[in-house]
Amino acid sequence: MTRILHLSDTHVSATGADMDGVDAVAALEGILHDARHLPGLDAVVVSGDIADDGSAAGCGAVLERVGAFAAERGIPHIYSTGNHDARGPFREVLGSGHRDADGSDRGRLLDPESDLCASVSFLADLRIVTVDSLVPGETHGFLDEHQLACLGAELATPTRDGTVLVLHHPPLHLASLPWVADVVLHNISALGRVVRGSDVRAILAGHLHFQATGYLAGVPVWVTPGVVTRIDTTAPPHLVRGVLGAGASVVDLSDPASPSSHVIAARDPRAGEQVYLYDAASGEDTPEEL
């Protein structure tokens, strides 16, 4: 069995707080502290929005804390870019994004000539591939034809235990939440064509700050909740409500017929406290508490 602790959306800035004033360092430390009893972890994956301000300092603060958690367990830690990240600082601090327990870079770039942060490494015979769905200055994600071709070339050779694909922007639509279509991966079908018939067993994503699941070309997609905040989807569909409460997931790949996933939540006495509320259509803040 391979067991992955899946984090996303740490949003640590150079000063520690995210753009909404939430102590992102404390949120990360809280979820890692409460995850300390999880047995049998083989890797930690952080699927993007490492640094809220795209800074090297923000990346470094996350690397320090996740790296210490991984080092205590002797397991690798793996990162992908999100829309808040910047490729230069990401590569400066995290290299390929695939780090060994001792902090050394264990990843191979899918295209060493590109500035994209897309890489591959192995957990025994399980392949982990991170792709770079960042579109600078935009909230949504996109994978250009060159990166998709590189991914397809990598997947053309199957591995014994298959592949886990990691990216920030979910390749999913959620009909009950219309605003999601604007912020997820915008060329979902193109990625579907690449993974269809491949050995990809699971696609891990973040970005939405709430857990969700679905399928892309027959492959299970799992969206883990955010670390810094979560989005409370009980708000009216046109509103986006962010609340306190760090979450993460445990992903088990026990045999070729699974993965299975479940959510863990940090023990936070302020969990559920509203941080922001805005109208998804206008982008304007909504002052009232709902």
What pLDDT, on the 0 to 100 scale, is given for residue 287? 57
Q: How far apart are CA 62 and CA 287, in angstroms?
A: 32
pLDDT at 288 (0 to 100): 57
What pLDDT is stored for residue 94 in this prediction? 98
Instruction: Give the pLDDT score at 193.
Output: 98
Give the DSSP letter of residue 284. Answer: -
| Tens digits of residue pLDDT in 218-271 | 999 999 999 999 999 999 988 999 999 999 999 999 876 789 999 999 999 999
Q: What are phi and psi of 116, to 5 degrees?
A: -65, 145
Q: Which two tokens stand for residue 108?
A: 């191979």
Residue that the structure tokens 């799992």 belong to = 222
CA-based nearest residue to 205, from 226, 187, 189, 229: 226
- CB contact at 8 A, 252 and 259: yes
Residue 167's contacts (CB-CB under 8 Å, 6 or more residues apart) are 47, 48, 80, 130, 131, 132, 133, 141, 143, 185, 203, 204, 205
Cα(168)–Cα(242) distance, integer angstroms: 18
Helical H runs in the chain? 24-34, 56-73, 87-94, 145-155, 188-195
Q: At which residue do the structure tokens 């800074």 appear? A: 55
Collapsed DSSP state (helix, strand, coil) of residue 29: helix
Q: Which two tokens stand for residue 241?
A: 């409500």
Residue 289: predicted pLDDT: 55
User: Could you tell me the CA-to-CA distances from 186 to 30, 131, 181, 200 in Å, in that order?
Assistant: 33, 14, 8, 20
Task: Indicate if the alpha-carbon torsion angle 6, 12, 18, 19 is positive or negative.
Answer: negative
pLDDT in the model for residue 258: 81
Domain 2-279 coded CATH 3.40.50.300: no
Torsion angle, alpha carbons of 103, 108, 110, 115, to 10: 50
With a cut of 50, which residues of the chain have pLDDT below it? none
Q: Are the C-beta atoms of 20 and 229 separated by less than 8 Å?
A: yes
Tell me which residue has tokens 């993965």.
259
Q: Are 42 and 2 in contact (CB under 8 A)?
A: yes
- pTM attached to this predicted model: 0.96
Q: Is the dihedral of CA 23, 29, 35, 39 positive or negative?
A: positive
Burial class (CB in 10 A: 0-12, 13-18, 19+), 267: exposed
Angle separating helix axes 87-94 and 56-73, nearest 10 degrees: 30
- The reported pLDDT for the residue numbered 37 is 96
Q: Are 256 and 238 in contact (CB under 8 A)?
A: no
Domain ranges in the chain are: 2-279
How many Cβ atoms are within 10 Å of 281's Cβ, its own excluded?
A: 11
Q: Please give the pLDDT value at position 1.
A: 80
